[in-house]
Amino acid sequence: MADVFVSYARPDEPHAQRIAEALRAQGYQVWRDDDLPAHRAYAEVIEERLKSAAAVVALWSADAVTSQWVRAEADAARSARTLVQATLDGTVPPMPFNQIQCADLKGWEGDQSTHGWRKLLASVVALAGSPEHDKDKPSASPPRVTVCVLPFANMSGDPEQEYFSDGISEDITTDLSKVSALGVTARNSAFMFKGPAVDVCEVARKLGVSHVLEGSVRKAGGRVRINAQLVDGATGDHVWADRYDRELTDIFAIQDEISKAIVDALRVKLLPEEREAIEQRGTTNAEAYNMYLMARRYWSTGNWGDTRQLELVARLCERAVELDPQYARPWGLMAIVRSILHFTFSASDDDGSVAADRALSLDPTISEAYCVRARQAYEQGRFDEADQALAQALKFEPDSWEAHREAGRIYLFQRRLVEAAHHYERTVELDETDYHSWGMLCSVREALGEVEGAARAAKMGAAHAERVVAQDPTNGAAWGMVAYCLAFLGERERARDGMERALLICPDNIFMRYNFACVTALVFKDAEGAIDLLEPTFVDISESVFKAMLTDPDIDSLRSHPRFNALMAQAAQDLGLGSAIPAAS
């Protein structure tokens, strides 16, 4: 019997062969379809090998996600709980496999010390056993240990403190993800269960995990109380539980203790380098950490298109680095926000370069800083350099929400739609509540002619944007996305009503107007109405927004309209870009 079955798309055969050889070198029997016998039916042998394999390694890539064979083999393995996943090129596994951990083997050439390979190998060992010790034993393989960290409940009595409890949950998820012997559910999947009390066993069943961590956070004054419990997903029994009532300055020690206690309770091996990685927080200043968590919350949930929100994020980051000048994370976020204020709004002379350089001098793996470098290169027409900077960001932090969102934006406005779709898909997987990226994904899927994908993105974008509007009726960005997505879904009257209401409430949000113009041009087929909405955005238009208008597929129907071209020509002249308006390719 083969210990390991390798599933892959035909164009990825060199990678599959390298991985198979590395597993054989570890002592495993490995089967892939180059071993098919000449006298038997293909499907019959595949099914037999799949059923007999203790571990099935699915190698995802842009080609693999379109392969019915890879999908079918991965689905069979998922049902049998033998699935191990790796991405060869950064491609995210398709649904429903995107809810299962995936090792990153992008650019892997056989180095067995890399985190991605160790993660894959640890999963194979957990499922198939260690061949060095168990190859003569017929005993069954132990099940792999997998954990979901549910969002910790905010018990502070102040909804504004939720950023802190969410930040704790995300940090513990990140810590546990550094342990190669553990499978950890992605943050996005776990946060689907945020809110009302849930049945832990039902969560474990839905996510296919063996254990669930849940807890609560109460922060008041200078103290923090954290309750945490690790629950067996099959029985509902507590495996471990503890309460921490400490000074807020002890928050990092508490997180470390929780992560290590979980590792001990699950009896998995923590490698020395993994222990060191868990203990790296970037700062020892609890208040600086608090300021950064608050800045991230406003950054990810605020009113896009409102410079006041961006300036608030920048101020919080500035306070964080005043408290700890060696804290790289807020330097990186500050860089991204200042870059947007400069390029998108022409609201600052600071393009974020200084903060980005400072972040990278402290930590050369900070993805936000590479995003800023990508934006600078893109705005100056150095597209190859922009690609390189984005590749660096994703190399160091493959799960960076900021990096995938920036890559999606840059590729969209270069009309590299397939690449843009990939990165926006990854963005919303990392944060399902990001209604803006759902809307952008809808636009990209529509431009690619993928009707079902556009409709799915529109449904998700509308649902999440409507929740935001219900809580904050002045959020123009959310209103813009509600109308945009509803119009795509054929709910034109609701979309028009929302647009009218939003224009009364927040008429000055230029990105809301821009999205309304896209809806009016693309869905309502009303060129004059779209240009009426766009015209105010030409007042003090930035070069970045002007360039976006040159290539945005949503407004392609306006490019032959004399009035639109007159506005574009005047803007080009005002910006010193000449008078020619190139057509989108």
CA distance 218 to 24: 50
The tokens for 426 are 């990854």
Supply the pLDDT for residue 123: 85
**pTM for this one?**
0.69
Say if residues 74 and 5 touch (Cβ distance below 8 Å).
no
Supply the pLDDT for residue 139: 41
Residues 6+ apart with CB under 8 A from 367: 332, 393, 394, 396, 397, 400, 402, 403
The tokens for 332 are 């990186």
The tokens for 78 are 């998922």
Average pLDDT over residues 345-373: 95
What domains are there in the chain, each with its CATH number? 4-134 (3.40.50.10140), 146-281 (3.40.50.10070), 289-540 (1.25.40.10)
pLDDT surpasses 50 at 257:
yes
User: pLDDT grade, residue 457 (50/70/90)?
Assistant: very high
CA distance 413 to 420: 9
Supply the pLDDT for residue 44: 66
Q: What is the pLDDT of residues 487-525, one digit of tens each?
A: 999 999 999 988 988 888 888 888 888 889 999 999 999
Q: What is the pLDDT of residues 465-484, one digit of tens each?
A: 998 888 888 888 888 889 99
Q: What is the mean pLDDT of the chain?
A: 86
CA distance 293 to 3: 45
User: Mapping DSSP to helix (H, G, I), strand (E, B) and coil, where does residue 413 land?
Assistant: coil
CA distance 380 to 483: 33
Span of 206-210, 446-450, 523-527 with lowest mean pLDDT: 206-210
The tokens for 122 are 């640890």
